[in-house]
Structure 1
Amino acid sequence: MSNNSNAIYGGQAVIEGVMFAGKHVHVTAVRRKNQEIAFLEVPKKPNSLLTSLKKIPFVRGIVGIIESSAKGTQHLTFSAEAYAEDESSPEDAAKPKKERWNLTMILGVALVGILSFVVGKIIFTLVPTLLEGLIFGHAFENKILHNLLEGVIKIIFLLSYLWFISQTPLIKRLFQYHGAEHKVISAFEAGSELTVDKVQKFTRLHYRCGSSFIIFTVIVGVVIYSFFQWDTMGERIVQRLILLPVVLGVSYEVLKWTNALRDIPVLKWLGLPGLWLQLLTTKEPNDDQVAVSIASFNRMRELDRQVSST
Structure 2
Amino acid sequence: MSTEKKPAYGGQAVVEGVMFGGRNHYVTAVRRTDQSIEFFHLPRKANPVLSKIKKIPFLRGIVAILEASANGTKHLNFSADRYETDPKDDEKAASEKKESRLTMVLGVAAAGVLSFLFGKFIFTLIPVFLAESTRFIFKTDLAQVLVEGAFKLILLLAYIYFISLTPLIKRVFQYHGAEHKVINCYENGLPLTVENVQKQSRLHYRCGSSFILFTVIVGVFVYMAVPTDPLWARVLNRIALIPAVLGISFEVLQLTNALRNVPVLKMLGIPGLWLQLLTTKEPDDRQAEVAIESFQELLRMQKETRDTEEQIV
Q: Would you say the 8 A contact 1:13–1:181 is kept in 2?
A: yes
1:76 equivalenced with 2:76 (yes/no): yes
- How many Å separate the matches in 2 of 1:114 and 1:31? 26
- How many Å separate the matches in 2 of 1:308 and 1:71? 23
Distance 1:180 1:115, change over 3 A: farther
| Map of 1:24 onto structure 2 | 24
| Map of 2:12 onto structure 1 | 12
AA aligned to 2:127 is P
1:245 equivalenced with 2:243 (yes/no): yes
| Map of 1:299 onto structure 2 | 297
Q: Would you say the 8 A contact 2:72–2:112 is kept in 1?
A: no
Greater shift after overlay, 1-10 or 121-130?
1-10
| Map of 1:131 onto structure 2 | 130
- How many Å separate the matches in 1 of 2:2 and 2:198? 17
* 3-state DSSP of counterpart to 1:56: coil
Q: Quote the offset at 1:225 in angstroms.
A: 0.4
What pairs up with 1:206-225 in 2 under 5 angstroms? 206-225=204-223
- In structure 1, runs of 5+ residues without a counterpart are 90-111
Tell me the TM-score normalised to structure 1 length: 0.89
Residue by residue, what CA displacement relative to the aligned partner does 1:47-89 show, whole Å, maximum 9, x if unpaired?
1111111000000000001111111121111101012214998
- Give identity over the alignment, percent: 56
1:121 equivalenced with 2:120 (yes/no): yes
Could you say what the CA RMSD is over the residues aligned between the two structures, in angstroms?
A: 1.7
- The structure 2 residue matched to 1:202, chosen from 182, 200, 216, is 200
Tell me the TM-score normalised to structure 2 length: 0.88
- How many Å separate the matches in 1 of 2:307 and 2:69? 29
- How many Å separate the matches in 2 of 1:162 and 1:180? 18
Q: Would you say the 8 A contact 1:2–1:189 is kept in 2?
A: no
| Map of 2:63 onto structure 1 | 63
Q: Quote the offset at 1:113 in angstroms.
A: 9.5
* 3-state DSSP of counterpart to 2:13: strand
Distance 1:195 1:64, change over 3 A: same
| Map of 1:265 onto structure 2 | 263
Q: Would you say the 8 A contact 1:29–1:292 is kept in 2?
A: yes
Higher normalized contact order (CA 8 Å, seq sep 6+, divided by chain length): 1
- The structure 2 residue matched to 1:178, chosen from 176, 179, 186, is 176
- The structure 1 residue matched to 2:150, chosen from 149, 152, 168, is 152
